[in-house]
Structure 1
Amino acid sequence: MTVSVNPADMTVEARRTMLLASIVPRPIAWTSTTSTDGTRNLAPFSYCTVVSTTPPMLSLTLERKDGGEEKDTLRNLRATGDFVVNILSGSLTDAMVATSGEYPQDVDEFAVAGVTPLAADVVRADRVAEAPISLECRLVHILQPGSDTVVIGRVERCHFDDTVIDGEGNIDPGALQPVGRLGRAFAVIDGLLSIRA
């Protein structure tokens, strides 16, 4: 038997919960930005995907804080026009969760997470030295299609730890062991199916 629901008949929280539990797994974009005064911000977002390969672009969707205020990530993006998406492996999950809280704007969230800031090549925001993949991005568009804000950035530089990429540029998901979001839970993706598509 199928259960069918009309999203318009659901509360906002029920609708959000239903979407989060249905669209899985969602990659964690551990996003670093820098404020105009140089404060480092680091926050995880699970609404992330590729939107173009030529030019290479990706999107982040940012919800607002509980009080309706914009998150520091979005404020920094508007002000500086750049960000870094760090892809984390399972060993960084605790550090990532530590940055999911709400902190005052002057708090360095790299310090909160206990990770190492590493200067990016072409953008102002630092990347996470411990992250196996980091993508330096420049802001292309900020869209407001509904309650949340969609940010589209062009990937300007890619950084890969040599443990997750081979000499031909192939990324080994087994070595990467990326973290995904399953509803309100997290999972390390380490079980792979050998299906050729």
Structure 2
Amino acid sequence: MFRRLLLGAVLSASLSACQTAQQPAPVQAAATDDAAWYIGSMPDKPFDVPLVDRRLMDAKYAKQTVNYDGPEKPGSIVVDIDERMLYLIQPDKKAIRYGVGVGKQGFSWKGVASVGRKGVWPSWRPTKTMKGINPDLPEHREAGLDNPLGARALYLHQNGADTLFRIHGTNEPWSIGEQVSSGCVRMLNEDIVDLYERVPVGATVYVKRNGRYRV
């Protein structure tokens, strides 16, 4: 049952407001067999979190603590679009680093934002832009394994307004390290759960490209 639900979730990934704009070439042959990417689940509510077989991924995208000498304060998030990495800044010039998937050329957003709110197994609605590109997208999708926002989402706000960009989970694990989405920053579900627990509402988020996050 778990494998059937999981397979259905993966096949529905293109319904996200941060949907994959183009299917990348398989990272491994296993990318052609969606269920082969998963090795079990992590208990969570109201759904268990599918766990990815990390052997199918480049090891550099695994969560790890690294040295970091940037100017950002501990507790802030830095997303480097070019590196496909997200850094949660820690004291003593350290950071927890996670591999991410980012928007394709022309879709990625950069700038300074804050975590305006957080969502557990969030529901999803397409933006007007997404509906313009694909009128067949549904108006709404409830939380669950078939929701491409995954297990958690951090909603990025600027000046009190929703930017419509998120840091969220994904049911397309092969897209981590790729530049294929329609703009949001996507993480493995187990990684976004970890980040979610560490980051409060109000945390500053820097999204940069070419070494700059100022527009």
In our comparison, the structure showing a higher alpha carbon Rg is 1
Q: Shorter-chain TM-score: which interval? A: under 0.3
Q: What TM-score comes out, normalization by structure 2 length?
A: 0.26
Q: What TM-score comes out, normalization by structure 1 length?
A: 0.27
